[in-house]
Structure 1
Amino acid sequence: MQMPPMPIMRMRKMTRFSMPRVLILHTGGTLGMSGSPLYPDAYATRLTEAVPELEALADIETRIIFNLDSSDMGPEHWAVLASEIDASRDDFDGFVIVHGTDTMAYSAAALSFALMNLGKPVILTGAQRPLGALRTDARRNLADAVELATRQIPEVGICFDGILVRGTRATKSHANDYRAFDSPGTEPIARLGVDIELSEGLRPVAGAYTFRPAFDPAVMMMHVTPGLRPELFEPVIASGALRGLVLAAYGMGTIPAREPDMTAFVRRAVASGVEVLVITQAAGRIDLGLYENSRRLADAGAIGGGGLHGEAAVTKMMHALANFEAREERRAYLQSDVAGERG
């Protein structure tokens, strides 16, 4: 795996040793940007200077891992982040990741799968306006994230605008509002007002810690639309480059089965070795046994994704392909709920 060339910068602020220790990993994003158009800046090196209240919450160390627009983040960066947390897991009580909003939900889901049963909070946050801007939301989000990282939260989550949502259930729901993230079908796992209210739905550690940082990017997501022609995608299947397909179907899992017959395309894909995971374009859960057209998908070898959202479906497929060589194990992993992702 080719590692990003940027060296990791480490900045430690010495505080009282009795305080919880929190590691802040900076990856880029709007929070640390400046200029017009916005571009990644060196603001992250001065986080504790810009938000001095952070030092009242925890003994903080900051590391600059990347300084990227999050649209440039991908599987190789998730692996680096996971490895940094794994190597530091005995030295810190919690972790905060400063990240751009556009792909934050993908990174949160990926880290949930890579750091299974870590047992410590991993809180991703960012901002809709830069830290140096007027009316910025960065200061509150960062302080909230650091405080959450000192609590007993054994999950990966996204902290934004006073709520913490599960990493495997998060989706970016708005490009402009300060409430940029939601977890449809799942209540936030924490709410931050005058007090911090942790949900009774927090997932306890369910087994031994398992570190699997690898992801296979040979995955495509396809949204079914009226009139979609399967022959458009046949060359991709024939090339052998595709290993996993996330199929966003209608409703509870239906796709065209007459003309054009998309189920025949799915059958050919599965027969060629491609794993096909079906999710819904709507809210709710997939049921591949409910309708004739959904049953035909199941008969073709597709896997029902339950209540998986797109971000978690894509990252889980990448994780399954990279970590489970036997097809039976891979399919069993995709069908199981390992980090609350299926809703």
Structure 2
Amino acid sequence: MRILGAMLGGTISSYHDGGTIRLDKPSFVKSFLLESDYPHEFVFPEFDTYSSEDATPYMYRDALKKIVENVRKSDFDGILITHGTDTCAYFAQLAYRVLSPLGIPFAVTGSVNSPDIDPDEASGNIGYAVKMLEKGRSGVVFKNRSGDAMLYRADLIMSPDIFGFYGEYADGIVPPESDIEAFLNSEKLPEILVIPAVPGAVIPGTGFDRVLICCNHSGTASAGLVPLVRKWTTQGIRCYMAPIPVCGGVYESREKLRNAGAIELPGMPVEGAWAEVLLR
């Protein structure tokens, strides 16, 4: 196989320095892959690296655009991506939607501990990710609660730091190619107001293009948002709601928000909904 390596940073590209984890170059990942006995060709273009807690939609867009451009201009059989755990789910949800049309498997992985602290975790995740690519499978590779590396579906993934449970959710969807191209080539991405599912959340009045209302586990959100949603939709600002369970009853507050113009995004965790709102 000819595998494109996109090393984007995170703990797997970091080192431990007197109690502090510091971002470094992805030397461990490259060395492990190149020094192993894999019968594959690994190609490592230079990517900008970042700490995942500092990630922005533009960083995601630039990384995915570079991946797409490299795959389109050269023959690759798979894509291996390393990323930090803090926002890995957001990146993976977006990557699933943008990379699926390429028609080759991709794997996103990383590590909770830096390689100099736990090299077995990092190498185990990388090795399992390569194994999944060999089988033509896409997804996110991290260790489970038992300490074994496993493949999670990228369209359902939640935070690997908490071994996110995603059994409530159905398949994600891949948007039209026109939406993907617009995202990859847009100079300005939408400003998304994310309203957390916490009591008394402070909501700014201006400065955003789209709204994502984070629902509670039952798919509910404050009915106090109804007049705001009605106002925003009248102004042409699209409002979305997620996560929405695929089963169970519809509560009154959710029905009121829907009637006010909020668009439900069922069958995906909030990380996937964020990716959908960014692409639409």
TM-score by length of 2: 0.82
Which residue does the alignment assign to 2:168?
Answer: 185
Which residue does the alignment assign to 2:246?
Answer: 285
Structure 1 unpaired stretches of 5+: 1-19, 188-200, 321-343
Which residue does the alignment assign to 1:266?
Answer: 229
Q: Does 1:306 align with 2:266?
A: yes
Q: Secondary structure at the match of 1:83?
A: helix
Matched pairs, number:
267
Residues 66 and 272 (structure 1), Cα distance of their counterparts in 2 relative to 1, 3 Å cut: same
Output one character per residue of 1:79-98: Cα deviation in whole Å (capped at 9) or x when no partner. 22222222222421001111
Letter in 1 for 2:272: A
Q: 2:40 aligns with which of 58, 65, 70?
A: 58
What are the residue-to-residue correspondences of 1:128-139 with 2, within 5 Å?
128-134=112-118, 136-139=120-123
Q: Secondary structure at the match of 1:117?
A: helix
Q: 2:14 aligns with which of 33, 39, 56?
A: 33
Structure with greater Cα Rg: 1
Which residue does the alignment assign to 2:257?
Answer: 297
Moved over 6 A (4+): 205-210
Output one character per residue of 1:59-82: Cα deviation in whole Å (capped at 9) or x when no partner. 112234123211122211222222
Q: In the TM superposition, what is the alpha-carbon distance from 1:26 to its structure 2 partner? A: 0.7
Residues 244 and 57 (structure 1), Cα distance of their counterparts in 2 relative to 1, 3 Å cut: farther
Which residue does the alignment assign to 1:338?
Answer: none
CA distance in 2, matches of 1:252, 1:262: 17
Whether the 8 Å contact between 2:28 and 2:115 is mirrored in structure 1 is no
Q: In terms of mean alpha carbon deviation, does 22-31 or 213-222 score higher?
A: 213-222
Which residue does the alignment assign to 1:222?
Answer: 195
RMSD: 3.0
Q: Does 1:244 align with 2:210?
A: yes
Residues 64 and 129 (structure 1), Cα distance of their counterparts in 2 relative to 1, 3 Å cut: farther
Q: Does 1:73 align with 2:55?
A: yes
Output one character per residue of 1:273-301: Cα deviation in whole Å (capped at 9) or x when no partner. 22111114xx83388x8333222111100
Which residue does the alignment assign to 1:124?
Answer: 108
> Higher helix share goes to which structure?
2
CA distance in 2, matches of 1:51, 1:217: 37
CA distance in 1, matches of 2:178, 2:133: 18
Q: In the TM superposition, what is the alpha-carbon distance from 1:310 to its structure 2 partner? A: 1.2
Output one character per residue of 1:220-244: Cα deviation in whole Å (capped at 9) or x when no partner. 2212334x26xx42xx33x3x2111
Q: Does 1:45 align with 2:27?
A: yes
Q: Secondary structure at the match of 2:81?
A: strand
Whether the 8 Å contact between 1:158 and 1:166 is mirrored in structure 2 is yes
Letter in 1 for 2:236: G
Whether the 8 Å contact between 1:26 and 1:65 is mirrored in structure 2 is yes
CA distance in 1, matches of 2:158, 2:101: 22
Letter in 1 for 2:221: I
Structure 2 unpaired stretches of 5+: 144-148
Letter in 1 for 2:197: V
CA distance in 2, matches of 1:114, 1:138: 26
Q: Secondary structure at the match of 1:115?
A: helix
Residues 55 and 217 (structure 1), Cα distance of their counterparts in 2 relative to 1, 3 Å cut: farther
TM-score by length of 1: 0.68
Residues 207 and 291 (structure 1), Cα distance of their counterparts in 2 relative to 1, 3 Å cut: closer
